[in-house]
Structure formats: structure tokens, C-alpha cells
Amino acid sequence: MASIILVTGGTGYIGGELIDRLLSVGKVVHTTIRCTAKSEPRLRSRWPDAGERLKVFQADLENDDGWAEANSGCDAVAHVASPFPLAVPRDENDLIVPAREGALRAVRFAKDAGVDRFVLTSSAAAIAYGHPLSKTKFDKDDWTRVESGDVAAYAKSKTIAEKAVREWVAAKAPDMTFCSINPVAVFGSIANDDLSTSIEMVQKLLDGSIPLAPNMGIGVVDIRDVVTAHVAALEAPDAVVRNGRFPLQQRFLWLREMSQILRDRVPEIAGKAPTKRMPDFLVKLLAPFMSEMNVLKSELGKIRDVDGSHAAKVLGFEYILAEQTLEDTARNLVEHGVIKP
């Protein structure tokens, strides 16, 4: 396996957990963050003993500054950084352009630095959107149909960025070992109270913010499996991963099923988790006034069941059961004081 690895987006959920795993097995890690003055102290406090084995560089997806320095001396890159909106952007290009250009910038500087392995953290959002309602099963060969009128900006951004990097590598870096990791919603342990969007969903199920469960579902995968897949992609033989695409999902669950799992597995903290379904008409009624309901409205009744078996087989791991993942997420939220028992 590579000895010096660049993990972009070190303050993000996946990026942080990947850095944690790599440092734990003795690797030297470079990471990029948007502002060192603001975020480097936070990273140093998380890994106080890392010393020179963790090098932090200021580099933004939208300009070239810092990327050459971040890649210097690296054997491999895990490009995890990607813009994720807190709200739907007014102009979808505000999300699409930095995602595409940032990914191309990352791979271009990696090639210039002589990096021979590039692992792109893409998403199941690049797989399972824009298809007919009758299609409910998806795998590594499926692509989100960005030309469809109902594909949100985030799914477009992930699809366009992944395709752009694949095309760039094929044309300009054919000797580079490239693959993508495409997880569904990621749950599991957390390092602090800076929560990802998926973890916030569990929080809201537990704290009563969602009194009724909307009729929507989501794929579940554990952060530990996401990290394991990334590490395997970084160290597997070239022939195993070259040009590979590895969707990650343990199980597709409806929100009401997630709520019931939490009630069954952590009853002492899940007393407020919803037991009844929210009528579709109520979601649509609230959509103009609540941004969250506006997002949920487009997902009502849709099944996006992504097959994660290819990744598990090729990269050599077994998925942690979704039930265990949700339980561990809930208990971690209590440990960090986000949920009061």
C-alpha cells in the first residue's frame, strides 16, 4: 500500500474517519482543508500524537493554490472533498461547477506529482436518480440520468464530476489506477457534534423533530465499511481496482423501518421516534414552508435499492448490519451529548 496518502477534505465526515484509519496503521497522511487558520487546530486536537505524520494544506476546490504542495511526495490520493449544500442552490451550477472542476483539479495535480493511484469518493447519487419509477434496483453499471427533469443539483454534481474524472483519466492518464467509491447515506460513529446530513436524520428521529415518518426510504451503509472500502481500494492490486466502480450499501430502509429499529435497539433513548407514517398530502402541504419537506416531497414512495455486493466481494469485506449501524449511531449521539438520554 502507498506510504504517503493525500486525503482531500479532512474536516468532512468520511475524510476524517479515513484519516483516522490510515494514521492508526502507521501511514503518513496529507490532507487539504479550505482554511488552515480555522480548521487545522481542530484536526490537530483530534490527532494530537500524529505530529509530522499528518500534514495539513490549505487548498480549495475552486483554485489551484496549494494543490501541488499537498500532492508532493504522495503515492496515492483519496479525493473525498466535494461541495455538499445545506440548502438547494438557486443555480445548480453553483454546485455542479465546483464539484466537476474540483475533481478535475485534484486528479490533474495528482498526475503532475507522479501519483499513480487515485480513488474518487463519488456517491450513489451518481447511480440511482432520473430513472423510471418502475426501476427500483441499481448496481455499478447504472448512471444517474442527468437529462431527466427531476434530478436535483447534488445528484447532477456527483454524476457529472465522476464522469468527467473517468473521461480525463482515460484520455490523459491511462497508466493511473483509478476507481470510484459510491456510498449511499453514511451512518455510524461520530468524532464530534459536527454532524453530517445523514447523521442529523437519526438525531431528528430520536429527538422528536420528525413526529411522523414521511413515506421515503434511504440506503444505509456504515462509516466503518466506507473507510474499509477506501483503504482496500488504495492497497488492492492494480488489476482488481483499475477503472472500478464500487457502490456501497448494506440495506435499503424506509424511515418508519429505521424508526422501529431504533425503538427496538435503543428503547431508552428512542421514545420519541415516530411510530406512524406522515400522510403524503401533509408533506406536500408543508413543502412551501419547510425546506426539509420540500426535499422529501420528491422522494415520496421511491425505492432506490443499490446493490453493494460487488464492492464487498471485490474489495474483500463484509457489511456491518444496518441495525447495528443505527444503534451505534444513536449511542454515539448520546456519548457526544447531542441526544439526551
φ/ψ (deg, to 5) at 286: -85, -15
* Band of pLDDT at residue 84, cut at 50, 70 and 90: low
pTM over 0.85: yes
Note whether 308 and 225 are within 8 A (CB).
no
| Per-residue pLDDT tens over the stretch 218-263 | 999 999 999 999 999 999 999 999 999 999 999 999 999 999 999 9
| 313 has a pLDDT exceeding 90 | yes
Whether the predicted pLDDT of 2 surpasses 80: no
71 neighbors 77 (Cβ within 8 angstroms): yes
Please state, in angstroms and rounded to a whole number, the distance separating the CA atoms of residues 37 and 56.
11
* Chain segment 151-167, per-residue pLDDT in tens: 989 999 999 999 999 99
Is the model's pLDDT at 86 over the cut of 60?
Answer: no
pLDDT given for residue 120 in this prediction: 98
- The mean predicted confidence, pLDDT, of the chain is 93
CB 240 within 8 A of CB 82: no
Q: How confident is the model at residue 1 (pLDDT cuts 50, 70, 90)?
A: low
In this predicted model, what pLDDT tens digit does every residue of 189-225 receive, in sequence order? Answer: 988 777 888 999 999 999 998 899 999 999 999 999 9
Which residues does 137 contact at the CB level (< 8 Å), separation at least 6?
Answer: 305, 307
Neighbouring C-beta atoms of residue 268, cutoff 10 Å = 8
